[in-house]
Structure 1
Amino acid sequence: MTFLLGLAVLLILLWAVKGLARADPKGVVKGARMAGGVVALGGAAFLVARGQISIGVPLGLTGLGLLGWLPFGGATFGQRTQKRSGQVSRVRSAFLEMELDHDSGAMRGRIVAGRFAGAPLDGLDVSTLTGLFGEVDEESRTLLGAYLDRRSPGWRENAQGGATAGQGGASGSGKMTEQEAYQILGLEPGATAEDIGRAHRLLMKKLHPDQGGTTYLAARVNEAKEVLLRGHR
Protein backbone atom coordinates (compact mmCIF):
# COMPACT_ATOMS: atom_id res chain seq x y z
CA MET A 1 0.00 0.00 0.00
CA THR A 2 2.78 2.42 0.94
CA PHE A 3 4.61 1.61 -2.30
CA LEU A 4 1.50 2.30 -4.38
CA LEU A 5 0.89 5.64 -2.69
CA GLY A 6 4.51 6.66 -3.21
CA LEU A 7 4.27 5.69 -6.87
CA ALA A 8 1.07 7.71 -7.23
CA VAL A 9 2.73 10.78 -5.75
CA LEU A 10 5.67 10.38 -8.15
CA LEU A 11 3.40 10.06 -11.17
CA ILE A 12 1.41 13.10 -10.13
CA LEU A 13 4.60 15.09 -9.69
CA LEU A 14 5.86 14.08 -13.16
CA TRP A 15 2.50 15.02 -14.66
CA ALA A 16 2.62 18.43 -13.01
CA VAL A 17 6.18 19.11 -14.18
CA LYS A 18 5.24 18.15 -17.74
CA GLY A 19 2.26 20.47 -17.61
CA LEU A 20 4.41 23.36 -16.40
CA ALA A 21 6.85 22.82 -19.25
CA ARG A 22 4.05 23.40 -21.77
CA ALA A 23 2.50 26.30 -19.87
CA ASP A 24 2.47 29.93 -20.90
CA PRO A 25 5.06 31.83 -18.79
CA LYS A 26 2.24 33.95 -17.36
CA GLY A 27 0.60 30.82 -16.04
CA VAL A 28 3.69 29.27 -14.50
CA VAL A 29 2.96 30.62 -11.03
CA LYS A 30 -0.61 29.40 -11.14
CA GLY A 31 0.53 26.04 -12.45
CA ALA A 32 3.16 25.74 -9.77
CA ARG A 33 0.56 26.41 -7.13
CA MET A 34 -1.72 23.74 -8.55
CA ALA A 35 1.15 21.28 -8.78
CA GLY A 36 2.13 22.02 -5.22
CA GLY A 37 -1.44 21.48 -4.10
CA VAL A 38 -1.68 18.12 -5.85
CA VAL A 39 1.67 16.98 -4.47
CA ALA A 40 0.71 18.14 -0.98
CA LEU A 41 -2.54 16.18 -1.15
CA GLY A 42 -0.68 13.09 -2.34
CA GLY A 43 1.86 13.45 0.42
CA ALA A 44 -0.91 13.93 2.97
CA ALA A 45 -2.62 10.73 1.85
CA PHE A 46 0.69 8.88 2.12
CA LEU A 47 1.32 10.16 5.65
CA VAL A 48 -2.21 9.46 6.85
CA ALA A 49 -1.98 5.91 5.49
CA ARG A 50 1.16 5.46 7.61
CA GLY A 51 -0.65 6.74 10.67
CA GLN A 52 1.10 10.14 10.79
CA ILE A 53 -2.17 12.05 10.98
CA SER A 54 -0.74 15.01 12.89
CA ILE A 55 1.47 15.80 9.89
CA GLY A 56 -0.77 14.55 7.12
CA VAL A 57 -3.85 16.62 7.99
CA PRO A 58 -2.08 20.04 8.00
CA LEU A 59 -0.31 19.08 4.77
CA GLY A 60 -3.64 18.15 3.23
CA LEU A 61 -5.18 21.46 4.26
CA THR A 62 -2.23 23.25 2.69
CA GLY A 63 -2.82 21.34 -0.53
CA LEU A 64 -6.52 22.22 -0.54
CA GLY A 65 -5.62 25.86 0.04
CA LEU A 66 -3.15 25.92 -2.84
CA LEU A 67 -5.81 24.47 -5.12
CA GLY A 68 -8.26 27.14 -4.03
CA TRP A 69 -10.63 24.70 -2.33
CA LEU A 70 -10.61 26.51 0.99
CA PRO A 71 -12.26 29.90 1.81
CA PHE A 72 -8.93 31.74 1.83
CA GLY A 73 -8.24 30.61 -1.75
CA GLY A 74 -4.71 29.39 -1.25
CA ALA A 75 -3.23 32.58 0.13
CA THR A 76 -0.51 32.10 2.66
CA PHE A 77 -0.93 33.28 6.22
CA GLY A 78 1.47 36.15 5.56
CA GLN A 79 -0.50 37.24 2.51
CA ARG A 80 -3.79 37.17 4.43
CA THR A 81 -2.50 39.22 7.33
CA GLN A 82 -0.15 41.62 5.58
CA LYS A 83 -1.34 45.22 5.40
CA ARG A 84 -1.53 46.67 1.93
CA SER A 85 1.09 49.33 1.32
CA GLY A 86 0.83 52.45 -0.75
CA GLN A 87 -2.60 53.52 0.50
CA VAL A 88 -3.31 57.25 0.52
CA SER A 89 -6.20 59.25 1.96
CA ARG A 90 -7.39 62.30 0.05
CA VAL A 91 -9.40 65.28 1.25
CA ARG A 92 -10.37 68.09 -1.10
CA SER A 93 -11.85 71.53 -0.57
CA ALA A 94 -12.51 74.43 -2.93
CA PHE A 95 -8.88 75.59 -2.79
CA LEU A 96 -6.83 72.65 -1.52
CA GLU A 97 -6.24 68.98 -2.06
CA MET A 98 -4.54 67.11 0.79
CA GLU A 99 -3.10 63.60 0.96
CA LEU A 100 -2.12 61.48 3.98
CA ASP A 101 0.19 58.52 3.40
CA HIS A 102 -1.00 55.55 5.48
CA ASP A 103 2.46 54.01 5.77
CA SER A 104 4.53 57.01 6.83
CA GLY A 105 1.85 59.37 8.12
CA ALA A 106 3.31 62.11 5.87
CA MET A 107 0.90 64.84 4.84
CA ARG A 108 1.24 66.67 1.57
CA GLY A 109 -0.99 68.78 -0.62
CA ARG A 110 -1.37 71.30 -3.37
CA ILE A 111 -3.39 74.40 -4.12
CA VAL A 112 -6.09 73.82 -6.75
CA ALA A 113 -7.48 77.36 -7.15
CA GLY A 114 -6.47 81.00 -6.77
CA ARG A 115 -3.20 82.72 -7.55
CA PHE A 116 -1.05 79.77 -6.44
CA ALA A 117 -3.13 77.11 -8.25
CA GLY A 118 -1.05 74.00 -8.94
CA ALA A 119 1.63 74.84 -6.39
CA PRO A 120 2.57 72.12 -3.85
CA LEU A 121 2.22 73.26 -0.25
CA ASP A 122 5.72 72.02 0.52
CA GLY A 123 7.03 74.47 -2.06
CA LEU A 124 5.62 77.54 -0.26
CA ASP A 125 7.01 79.00 2.95
CA VAL A 126 4.90 79.20 6.10
CA SER A 127 4.41 82.96 5.93
CA THR A 128 3.01 82.68 2.39
CA LEU A 129 0.65 79.92 3.46
CA THR A 130 -0.63 81.81 6.49
CA GLY A 131 -1.26 84.78 4.21
CA LEU A 132 -3.77 82.65 2.28
CA PHE A 133 -6.19 82.36 5.21
CA GLY A 134 -7.92 85.59 4.23
CA GLU A 135 -8.40 84.42 0.64
CA VAL A 136 -9.96 80.97 1.05
CA ASP A 137 -13.20 79.52 2.40
CA GLU A 138 -13.68 78.14 5.91
CA GLU A 139 -13.15 74.48 5.00
CA SER A 140 -9.95 75.33 3.10
CA ARG A 141 -8.68 77.33 6.09
CA THR A 142 -9.33 74.35 8.33
CA LEU A 143 -7.52 72.01 5.97
CA LEU A 144 -4.59 74.40 5.59
CA GLY A 145 -4.41 74.78 9.36
CA ALA A 146 -4.23 70.99 9.74
CA TYR A 147 -1.34 70.87 7.27
CA LEU A 148 0.54 73.66 9.04
CA ASP A 149 -0.01 72.03 12.44
CA ARG A 150 1.96 69.05 11.20
CA ARG A 151 4.58 70.95 9.21
CA SER A 152 5.25 73.79 11.67
CA PRO A 153 3.59 73.20 15.06
CA GLY A 154 4.33 76.73 16.33
CA TRP A 155 2.83 78.57 13.35
CA ARG A 156 -0.29 79.73 15.23
CA GLU A 157 1.78 81.59 17.80
CA ASN A 158 3.53 83.51 15.04
CA ALA A 159 0.45 84.16 12.91
CA GLN A 160 -1.18 87.56 13.26
CA GLY A 161 -4.83 88.55 13.02
CA GLY A 162 -7.97 86.54 13.67
CA ALA A 163 -8.29 84.89 10.27
CA THR A 164 -6.50 81.77 11.48
CA ALA A 165 -8.41 81.30 14.71
CA GLY A 166 -10.79 78.47 15.41
CA GLN A 167 -9.63 76.06 12.74
CA GLY A 168 -10.12 72.80 14.64
CA GLY A 169 -13.88 72.52 14.75
CA ALA A 170 -14.99 73.52 11.28
CA SER A 171 -17.30 71.15 9.53
CA GLY A 172 -17.17 69.90 5.99
CA SER A 173 -19.04 71.58 3.17
CA GLY A 174 -22.26 69.62 2.85
CA LYS A 175 -23.04 65.93 3.09
CA MET A 176 -20.12 63.60 2.41
CA THR A 177 -20.58 61.32 -0.59
CA GLU A 178 -19.47 57.69 -0.73
CA GLN A 179 -16.81 58.62 -3.27
CA GLU A 180 -15.37 61.22 -0.90
CA ALA A 181 -15.51 58.72 1.97
CA TYR A 182 -13.56 56.13 -0.03
CA GLN A 183 -10.92 58.75 -0.90
CA ILE A 184 -10.58 59.87 2.72
CA LEU A 185 -10.06 56.32 3.95
CA GLY A 186 -7.85 55.44 0.97
CA LEU A 187 -10.09 52.57 -0.11
CA GLU A 188 -11.58 51.33 -3.37
CA PRO A 189 -15.36 51.05 -3.93
CA GLY A 190 -16.66 47.72 -2.69
CA ALA A 191 -14.37 47.58 0.36
CA THR A 192 -15.62 45.28 3.11
CA ALA A 193 -16.64 46.40 6.58
CA GLU A 194 -13.41 44.86 7.85
CA ASP A 195 -11.38 46.94 5.36
CA ILE A 196 -13.23 50.09 6.43
CA GLY A 197 -12.64 49.43 10.13
CA ARG A 198 -8.96 48.64 9.56
CA ALA A 199 -8.37 51.82 7.52
CA HIS A 200 -10.22 53.89 10.13
CA ARG A 201 -8.14 52.53 13.02
CA LEU A 202 -4.88 53.09 11.14
CA LEU A 203 -5.75 56.67 10.23
CA MET A 204 -6.91 57.57 13.73
CA LYS A 205 -3.49 56.45 15.01
CA LYS A 206 -1.80 58.66 12.42
CA LEU A 207 -4.04 61.60 13.36
CA HIS A 208 -3.41 61.39 17.09
CA PRO A 209 -2.35 64.80 18.51
CA ASP A 210 1.05 63.35 19.36
CA GLN A 211 1.49 62.67 15.65
CA GLY A 212 0.45 66.16 14.61
CA GLY A 213 -3.20 65.29 14.01
CA THR A 214 -6.16 67.62 14.30
CA THR A 215 -9.79 67.33 15.39
CA TYR A 216 -10.91 68.38 11.91
CA LEU A 217 -9.14 65.53 10.11
CA ALA A 218 -10.21 63.05 12.77
CA ALA A 219 -13.82 64.17 12.34
CA ARG A 220 -13.59 63.70 8.58
CA VAL A 221 -12.20 60.19 9.00
CA ASN A 222 -14.97 59.31 11.47
CA GLU A 223 -17.59 60.67 9.10
CA ALA A 224 -16.14 58.67 6.20
CA LYS A 225 -16.34 55.50 8.26
CA GLU A 226 -19.99 56.12 9.14
CA VAL A 227 -20.93 56.87 5.54
CA LEU A 228 -19.40 53.65 4.22
CA LEU A 229 -20.62 51.39 7.03
CA ARG A 230 -24.23 52.37 6.32
CA GLY A 231 -24.10 50.18 3.27
CA HIS A 232 -23.07 47.17 5.39
CA ARG A 233 -25.91 47.38 7.90
Structure 2
Amino acid sequence: MPTLIAGALAVFVIYTLLQMFRAANPAILARGVKIGGGVVALAVAAFTGIKGELAVAIPLGIFGAGLLGWSPFGTAGFSQIGGMFGGRASKSAGQTSNVRSQFLDMVLDHDSGALTGRVVAGPHAGQSLDGFDLAQLAAMMSGFDAESVALLESYLDRRFPAWRQDAQFDGAGRQGRAASSSKMTDEEAYQILGVQPGAGRDEISHAHRSLMKKLHPDQGGSTYLAARVNEAKDTLLRTHRN
Protein backbone atom coordinates (compact mmCIF):
# COMPACT_ATOMS: atom_id res chain seq x y z
CA MET A 1 0.00 0.00 0.00
CA PRO A 2 2.75 2.57 0.84
CA THR A 3 4.36 1.81 -2.54
CA LEU A 4 1.07 2.50 -4.34
CA ILE A 5 0.63 5.81 -2.51
CA ALA A 6 4.22 6.82 -3.28
CA GLY A 7 3.73 5.94 -6.95
CA ALA A 8 0.51 7.96 -7.19
CA LEU A 9 2.20 10.92 -5.50
CA ALA A 10 5.13 10.71 -7.92
CA VAL A 11 2.76 10.70 -10.91
CA PHE A 12 0.93 13.74 -9.51
CA VAL A 13 4.17 15.64 -8.94
CA ILE A 14 5.46 14.84 -12.44
CA TYR A 15 2.12 15.89 -13.99
CA THR A 16 2.13 19.16 -12.03
CA LEU A 17 5.70 19.92 -13.11
CA LEU A 18 4.84 19.24 -16.75
CA GLN A 19 1.85 21.60 -16.56
CA MET A 20 4.03 24.31 -15.01
CA PHE A 21 6.62 23.77 -17.74
CA ARG A 22 4.01 24.15 -20.49
CA ALA A 23 2.57 27.32 -18.96
CA ALA A 24 5.91 28.93 -18.21
CA ASN A 25 6.94 32.17 -19.90
CA PRO A 26 9.57 31.19 -22.53
CA ALA A 27 11.91 34.00 -21.49
CA ILE A 28 11.70 33.05 -17.80
CA LEU A 29 12.09 29.37 -18.65
CA ALA A 30 15.20 30.03 -20.75
CA ARG A 31 16.67 32.12 -17.94
CA GLY A 32 15.96 29.34 -15.46
CA VAL A 33 17.66 26.79 -17.68
CA LYS A 34 20.72 29.04 -17.98
CA ILE A 35 20.94 29.60 -14.24
CA GLY A 36 20.42 25.92 -13.47
CA GLY A 37 23.00 24.91 -16.07
CA GLY A 38 25.48 27.43 -14.69
CA VAL A 39 25.08 26.19 -11.11
CA VAL A 40 25.46 22.54 -12.17
CA ALA A 41 28.53 23.34 -14.30
CA LEU A 42 30.21 25.19 -11.41
CA ALA A 43 29.42 22.36 -9.00
CA VAL A 44 30.91 19.76 -11.34
CA ALA A 45 33.92 22.03 -11.95
CA ALA A 46 34.51 22.32 -8.19
CA PHE A 47 34.23 18.55 -7.76
CA THR A 48 36.65 17.77 -10.60
CA GLY A 49 39.00 20.51 -9.38
CA ILE A 50 39.17 18.95 -5.93
CA LYS A 51 40.09 15.66 -7.60
CA GLY A 52 42.93 17.47 -9.36
CA GLU A 53 41.49 17.30 -12.88
CA LEU A 54 42.17 20.96 -13.64
CA ALA A 55 42.15 20.47 -17.42
CA VAL A 56 38.43 19.69 -17.11
CA ALA A 57 37.57 21.87 -14.13
CA ILE A 58 38.88 25.20 -15.50
CA PRO A 59 36.99 25.31 -18.85
CA LEU A 60 33.88 23.86 -17.19
CA GLY A 61 34.05 26.54 -14.51
CA ILE A 62 34.45 29.28 -17.11
CA PHE A 63 31.49 27.86 -19.03
CA GLY A 64 29.31 27.81 -15.89
CA ALA A 65 30.36 31.33 -14.95
CA GLY A 66 29.46 32.51 -18.45
CA LEU A 67 25.96 31.05 -18.16
CA LEU A 68 25.50 32.92 -14.89
CA GLY A 69 26.79 36.15 -16.40
CA TRP A 70 30.10 36.17 -14.52
CA SER A 71 32.81 36.84 -17.06
CA PRO A 72 36.42 37.81 -16.30
CA PHE A 73 36.81 38.60 -20.01
CA GLY A 74 33.67 40.71 -20.44
CA THR A 75 30.27 39.63 -21.66
CA ALA A 76 31.16 39.50 -25.34
CA GLY A 77 33.30 36.40 -24.90
CA PHE A 78 30.29 34.38 -23.79
CA SER A 79 27.70 35.56 -26.26
CA GLN A 80 27.88 32.38 -28.31
CA ILE A 81 28.02 30.14 -25.24
CA GLY A 82 24.89 31.79 -23.89
CA GLY A 83 23.18 31.18 -27.21
CA MET A 84 23.33 27.43 -26.53
CA PHE A 85 20.98 27.93 -23.60
CA GLY A 86 18.60 30.60 -24.86
CA GLY A 87 21.21 33.22 -25.57
CA ARG A 88 18.69 35.19 -27.59
CA ALA A 89 16.54 35.57 -24.53
CA SER A 90 19.47 36.91 -22.48
CA LYS A 91 20.37 39.25 -25.32
CA SER A 92 16.98 40.89 -24.89
CA ALA A 93 17.65 41.65 -21.22
CA GLY A 94 16.78 45.30 -20.81
CA GLN A 95 15.50 45.47 -24.41
CA THR A 96 12.37 47.54 -24.96
CA SER A 97 10.01 48.62 -27.70
CA ASN A 98 8.82 52.19 -28.06
CA VAL A 99 5.51 53.23 -29.63
CA ARG A 100 4.67 56.92 -29.81
CA SER A 101 1.54 58.82 -30.82
CA GLN A 102 0.60 62.50 -30.70
CA PHE A 103 -0.21 62.40 -26.98
CA LEU A 104 1.46 59.26 -25.59
CA ASP A 105 4.81 57.52 -25.47
CA MET A 106 4.57 53.80 -24.57
CA VAL A 107 7.38 51.42 -23.66
CA LEU A 108 7.03 47.62 -23.75
CA ASP A 109 9.61 45.60 -21.82
CA HIS A 110 10.51 42.50 -23.83
CA ASP A 111 11.36 40.29 -20.86
CA SER A 112 8.49 41.04 -18.48
CA GLY A 113 5.89 42.16 -21.03
CA ALA A 114 5.18 45.21 -18.83
CA LEU A 115 3.70 48.21 -20.64
CA THR A 116 4.42 51.66 -19.25
CA GLY A 117 3.78 55.10 -20.68
CA ARG A 118 3.76 58.83 -20.22
CA VAL A 119 1.83 61.76 -21.62
CA VAL A 120 3.85 63.87 -24.07
CA ALA A 121 1.32 66.56 -24.97
CA GLY A 122 -1.64 68.35 -23.43
CA PRO A 123 -2.29 69.46 -19.84
CA HIS A 124 -0.74 66.30 -18.35
CA ALA A 125 2.43 66.35 -20.47
CA GLY A 126 5.43 64.77 -18.78
CA GLN A 127 3.39 62.69 -16.32
CA SER A 128 3.45 58.90 -16.09
CA LEU A 129 0.22 57.02 -16.80
CA ASP A 130 0.82 54.97 -13.65
CA GLY A 131 0.05 58.08 -11.63
CA PHE A 132 -3.59 58.21 -12.81
CA ASP A 133 -6.52 56.02 -11.82
CA LEU A 134 -8.96 54.44 -14.26
CA ALA A 135 -11.49 57.28 -14.19
CA GLN A 136 -8.81 59.89 -14.88
CA LEU A 137 -7.33 57.88 -17.75
CA ALA A 138 -10.73 57.31 -19.32
CA ALA A 139 -11.46 61.04 -19.09
CA MET A 140 -8.30 61.80 -21.07
CA MET A 141 -9.62 59.96 -24.10
CA SER A 142 -12.00 62.73 -25.07
CA GLY A 143 -9.05 65.00 -25.89
CA PHE A 144 -6.96 62.39 -27.71
CA ASP A 145 -6.71 61.56 -31.39
CA ALA A 146 -7.78 58.08 -32.53
CA GLU A 147 -4.25 56.67 -32.50
CA SER A 148 -3.59 57.91 -28.96
CA VAL A 149 -6.93 56.47 -27.82
CA ALA A 150 -6.01 53.06 -29.23
CA LEU A 151 -2.63 53.23 -27.52
CA LEU A 152 -4.18 54.24 -24.18
CA GLU A 153 -6.70 51.42 -24.45
CA SER A 154 -3.80 48.99 -24.90
CA TYR A 155 -2.37 50.28 -21.63
CA LEU A 156 -5.74 50.01 -19.87
CA ASP A 157 -6.19 46.45 -21.09
CA ARG A 158 -3.00 45.47 -19.25
CA ARG A 159 -3.42 47.54 -16.10
CA PHE A 160 -7.21 47.16 -15.73
CA PRO A 161 -8.11 43.93 -17.63
CA ALA A 162 -11.86 44.22 -16.91
CA TRP A 163 -12.25 47.95 -17.57
CA ARG A 164 -14.23 47.47 -20.80
CA GLN A 165 -16.91 45.53 -18.88
CA ASP A 166 -17.68 48.48 -16.63
CA ALA A 167 -20.73 50.35 -17.95
CA GLN A 168 -19.28 53.59 -16.57
CA PHE A 169 -16.51 53.44 -19.15
CA ASP A 170 -18.40 51.76 -21.99
CA GLY A 171 -17.84 53.82 -25.10
CA ALA A 172 -15.16 55.97 -23.49
CA GLY A 173 -12.86 55.51 -26.41
CA ARG A 174 -15.36 54.96 -29.19
CA GLN A 175 -14.16 57.82 -31.37
CA GLY A 176 -12.72 55.59 -34.06
CA ARG A 177 -9.88 53.19 -34.54
CA ALA A 178 -8.11 54.73 -37.47
CA ALA A 179 -4.64 53.42 -38.01
CA SER A 180 -1.75 55.80 -38.23
CA SER A 181 -2.33 57.98 -41.24
CA SER A 182 1.37 58.50 -41.90
CA LYS A 183 3.73 55.93 -43.33
CA MET A 184 5.93 54.33 -40.70
CA THR A 185 9.56 55.35 -40.97
CA ASP A 186 12.50 52.96 -40.56
CA GLU A 187 13.44 54.77 -37.34
CA GLU A 188 9.98 54.18 -35.86
CA ALA A 189 10.08 50.55 -36.94
CA TYR A 190 13.43 49.97 -35.22
CA GLN A 191 12.08 51.55 -32.02
CA ILE A 192 8.91 49.45 -32.07
CA LEU A 193 10.77 46.17 -32.58
CA GLY A 194 13.49 47.22 -30.15
CA VAL A 195 16.36 46.43 -32.53
CA GLN A 196 19.32 48.52 -33.57
CA PRO A 197 19.44 50.29 -36.97
CA GLY A 198 20.95 47.99 -39.55
CA ALA A 199 19.62 44.81 -37.89
CA GLY A 200 19.51 41.79 -40.18
CA ARG A 201 16.44 39.89 -41.37
CA ASP A 202 16.90 37.13 -38.79
CA GLU A 203 17.12 39.57 -35.89
CA ILE A 204 14.08 41.47 -37.15
CA SER A 205 12.06 38.26 -37.51
CA HIS A 206 13.12 37.04 -34.07
CA ALA A 207 12.15 40.34 -32.42
CA HIS A 208 8.79 40.24 -34.21
CA ARG A 209 8.04 36.68 -33.04
CA SER A 210 9.07 37.47 -29.47
CA LEU A 211 6.88 40.57 -29.30
CA MET A 212 3.86 38.85 -30.82
CA LYS A 213 4.03 36.28 -28.01
CA LYS A 214 3.93 39.12 -25.49
CA LEU A 215 0.95 40.65 -27.28
CA HIS A 216 -1.13 37.45 -27.26
CA PRO A 217 -4.62 38.04 -25.75
CA ASP A 218 -3.83 35.60 -22.93
CA GLN A 219 -0.97 37.90 -21.93
CA GLY A 220 -3.17 41.01 -21.95
CA GLY A 221 -2.28 41.68 -25.56
CA SER A 222 -3.47 44.43 -27.80
CA THR A 223 -4.74 44.25 -31.37
CA TYR A 224 -3.48 47.77 -31.98
CA LEU A 225 0.04 47.09 -30.71
CA ALA A 226 0.17 43.80 -32.61
CA ALA A 227 -0.74 45.69 -35.79
CA ARG A 228 2.04 48.21 -35.15
CA VAL A 229 4.56 45.42 -34.58
CA ASN A 230 3.49 43.74 -37.82
CA GLU A 231 3.79 47.04 -39.66
CA ALA A 232 7.28 47.59 -38.22
CA LYS A 233 8.42 44.16 -39.40
CA ASP A 234 7.00 44.69 -42.88
CA THR A 235 8.62 48.13 -43.08
CA LEU A 236 12.11 46.86 -42.24
CA LEU A 237 11.90 43.70 -44.33
CA ARG A 238 10.72 45.80 -47.27
CA THR A 239 13.80 47.97 -46.76
CA HIS A 240 15.98 44.85 -46.92
CA ARG A 241 14.31 43.74 -50.15
CA ASN A 242 15.01 47.10 -51.70
Q: Secondary structure at the match of 2:97?
A: strand
Judge conservation of contact 1:170–1:216 (CA < 8 Å) in 2. Answer: no
> In the alignment, what sits opposite 2:212?
204
Amino acid at match of 1:204: M
5 Å matches for 1:148-167? 148-158=156-166, 159-160=168-169, 162-165=171-174
Matched, 1:108 2:108: no
Amino acid at match of 1:194: D
Q: Deviations over 1:132-190 (max 9, x none)?
A: 110110000000000000100111222436341377x5312311000000000001100
Aligned length: 160
Matched, 1:182 2:190: yes
TM-score, length of structure 2 as denominator length = 0.62
Amino acid at match of 1:227: T
Q: Secondary structure at the match of 1:78?
A: helix
Q: Shift in Å at residue 216 of structure 1? A: 0.6
Amino acid at match of 2:235: V
RMSD: 1.9
Percent of aligned pairs with the same residue?
Answer: 56
For residue 81 of structure 2, the aligned residue among 64, 68, 78 is 78
Change (3 A) 1:130 1:74: closer
> In the alignment, what sits opposite 1:46?
none
Q: Could you tell me how far apart the structure 1 residues matched to 2:130 and 2:79 are?
A: 40
Change (3 A) 1:75 1:130: same
Q: Secondary structure at the match of 2:218?
A: helix
Q: Could you tell me how far apart the structure 1 residues matched to 2:130 and 2:189 are?
A: 25
Judge conservation of contact 2:189–2:233 (CA < 8 Å) in 1. Answer: yes
Judge conservation of contact 2:164–2:170 (CA < 8 Å) in 1. Answer: no
Q: Shift in Å at residue 232 of structure 1? A: 2.0
Judge conservation of contact 1:89–1:100 (CA < 8 Å) in 2. Answer: yes
Q: Could you tell me how far apart the structure 1 residues matched to 2:121 and 2:79 are?
A: 47
Q: Shift in Å at residue 76 of structure 1? A: 6.0
Q: Computing the radius of gyration over CA atoms, which structure comes out larger, 1 or 2? A: 1
- Segments of 5+ residues of structure 2 without an aligned counterpart are 1-75
TM-score, length of structure 1 as denominator length = 0.64
